[in-house]
Amino acid sequence: MTTNRPPHRDTDLARMMGYADGETGALVPPIHNATTFERAPGEISTPGGFSYSRSNSPAWTQVEDLLTRLEGGAASMVLASGMSAATIPFLALEPGAHVVVQDVMYWGIRAWLNDFAVHWGIDVEFAEAGSLASLQAVVRPGKTRLVWIETPANPMWNVIDIEAAAKIAHDAGALLVVDSTVATPILTRPLEFGADFVMHSATKYLNGHSDVLAGALVAARDDDMWQRMRRVRKDLGMVLGPQESWLLLRGMRTLHLRVERASENAMALADALSSHPNVAEVLYPGLPTHPGHAVSVRQMTGGFGGMMSVRVRGGKEGALGVMRRLKLFASATSLGGTESLVEHRRSTEGIESPVPDDLIRLSVGVEHADDLIADWRAALDG
């Protein structure tokens, strides 16, 4: 029996959409190190469609095609870092543009907006994370050009309804960008809910091995705004190197397996810690007690991700004491790798951080859940 049904997402990831080298039959692509490409004799055009690697490169082609397929978009681009991907939509706006962003988001983006973007001439206004009413209140019809949301939002894991946020943005004449780093396209595809662009810090789950710095953007439409964003990447040289592109593609082949396992582990750990007497609160969208749980059920498929935060009793010293006693959770920045990590975000972000002193952020890895639970219980009991 034959069928015209396209392959499942998992199959496309594992097989890189059926890649095989046309000359050798190799199932793993080569690393394209070239920075310049030969033109046809006496012509401006290039037979392969590539001229100079700051504009376009075969090193990116497969990973961008795969990202476009995963998110159900029209086009993708990979960049030198997550911050490169995050800043491009703002840099593509006209000076003086009004933008609305969440007050809880990745701290690096918030710091850049408060510093560089304001001096760049962008009018930045903050809305309460997870609150549609707050978003509606600060959006200016006919004035706002871009709305930025992150869901779940790092590190408090606030959840916002993407479809409702898209309607608010579009009714005001604005574009909606969703930072979907934590959800990944395995759990949420924001373009299906009306988002115009999806951003990923590809350093995290997309790569998944803590050895590549990369970012990614996916567009619902290949329109004028998208072309401006592509020009920003080219003009500012925010391009991803060939080695990093190859490693990112390698990591994405197991994305579905890693995200599913991390989600299962995080759910088990969240359940186990919720009733511990030394835990004040577990912030995880998969818990029915989480204020964004119902929305998460609607827009996250197959799990709730590997990120969570735990507020422990005893304030900052209590939190740091627990971290010192953990054996399997390394104290380190970043997330989305195979290994489990913890971080005291208030210390990392500084005195202006909105994060409580007693909060520990967890990136739950793909180790055995029983070991992770036992590690946390021992640290809390200690």
Q: Is the pLDDT of residue 138 over 50?
A: yes
Q: Is 358 a catalytic residue?
A: no
234 is catalytic: no
The arithmetic mean of pLDDT across residues 223-248, rounded, is 97
> What pLDDT is stored for residue 47 in this prediction?
66
What pLDDT score does 229 carry? 98
List the catalytic residue out of 161, 179, 358, 375: 179
Is the separation of the CB atoms in 302 and 186 below 8 Å?
yes
> What is the rounded average pLDDT of the residues 87-105?
95
Write down the catalytic residue from 69, 106, 345, 361.
106
The mean pLDDT of 196-219, rounded to a whole number, is 98
Classify residue 277 as exposed, middle or buried by CB count within 10 Å of its CB (0-12, 13-18, 19+): exposed
Q: What average pLDDT does this structure show over 328-347?
A: 96
Q: Considering 9, 54, 234, 253, which one is annotated as catalytic?
A: 54
For residue 15, pLDDT over 90 is answered with no
pLDDT at 1 over 60: no
- Express the helix, strand and coil content of the chain in percent, nearest 5 each: 40, 15, 45
19 is catalytic: no
The domains of the chain, with CATH numbers, are 9-252 (3.40.640.10), 256-381 (3.90.1150.10)
What band does 118 get if pLDDT is binned at 50, 70 and 90?
A: confident
Q: Which amino acid is at 242?
A: P
Catalytic: which of 69, 204, 233, 258?
Answer: 204
Contact between residue 259 and residue 304 where contact means Cβ atoms under 8 Å apart:
no
| Residue 74 or residue 353, greater confidence | 74
Establish whether 65 is a catalytic residue.
no
Q: Is the pLDDT of residue 291 over 70?
A: yes
* H/E segment holding residue 228: helix 224-236
Tokens of 65: 């095609």
CB 354, CB 104: distance < 8 Å: yes
Q: Which of 84, 336, 358 is nearest to 211 (CA)?
A: 336
78 vs 40 pLDDT, higher one: 78
Q: How confident is the model at residue 3 (pLDDT cuts 50, 70, 90)?
A: low
Q: Which residues share a beta bridge with 124?
A: 99
**What is the Rg, in whole angstroms, of the alpha carbon atoms belonging to the chain?**
21
pLDDT of residue 12: 87
